[in-house]
Amino acid sequence: MIYFKTEEEIELIRESSLLVGKTLAEVARVIGPGIKTIALDELAETFIRDNGSVPGFKGYNGFPFTLCISVNEQVVHGFPGERLLEEGDIVSVDCGVLKNGFYGDSAYTFPVGEVKAETLDLMKRTKEALYLGIESAADGKRVGDIGYTIQHYVEEYGYGVVRDLVGHGVGRFLHEKPEIPNYGKRGTGAKLQVGMVLAIEPMINLGVKNVVQESDGWTIRTADSKPSAHYEHTVAVRHGKAEILSSFRYIEEELVKRGIELI
């Protein structure tokens, strides 16, 4: 069942989504070589709770942390821990917030120090694919139009589009219908209508599309151990174009302050 949102509910989802962006900006302030991933998680949880909200992921289906932190070949759902980030790593940080009864959900992939050019290209093109997919999320289009747009763009570069994990509706529940694959055929799938709120999140691999699950039962990594990038926005379907409810602005302001070149 697809839950359609009122304008008032969309504004509440925007509030939650903007708090996610501000939380990821706290991560952007400190992420770098030598920091433990668990320190990023603790920082994020404190910030969310200090802002009168609840981490959206912690406890969800038993997930034990505030952030999903996925390094290099890890695609999504990585566990924060004692791992020290190293020069040349890339790190997908996925965050959810529950505020006023509604969820926000967004993700950003960070470079750590000097990153290989081919990996930076993967990040840049994955982010571009996100915005191209969002352009296809307008009233009257279909779910397959979003997936087709993302897939068509990134496969031109020889990248692998993860099939096992997808975007989703979001609102009173973290994961709602419809599912939003990052691949597909134009004109297929659920029809997009005003009132739908979607989390669009391309997960794109430098190598093959295949993934495997690690022994913790959560972390997903690429089958060939090549890097993967992941960006996500929460958007509202509108006439003509989608409206982005989350924001990378806070994140990228912090990166610029630190002299980190934006992807």
Q: Domain segments of the chain: what residues? A: 7-257
pLDDT in tens, 17-60: 999 999 999 999 999 999 999 999 999 999 999 999 999 999 99
d(CA 242, CA 224): 35
Instruction: Report if pTM > 0.85.
Output: yes
Q: What superfamily in CATH does domain 7-257 come from?
A: Creatinase/methionine aminopeptidase superfamily (3.90.230.10)
The band of 231, judged by pLDDT with boundaries at 50, 70 and 90, is: very high
Residue 163 token pair: 């099939």
H or E segment to which residue 130 belongs: helix 117-135
Name the nearest CA neighbour of 184 among 230, 140, 151: 151
pLDDT in tens, 162-221: 999 999 999 999 999 999 999 999 999 999 999 999 999 999 999 999 999 999 999 999
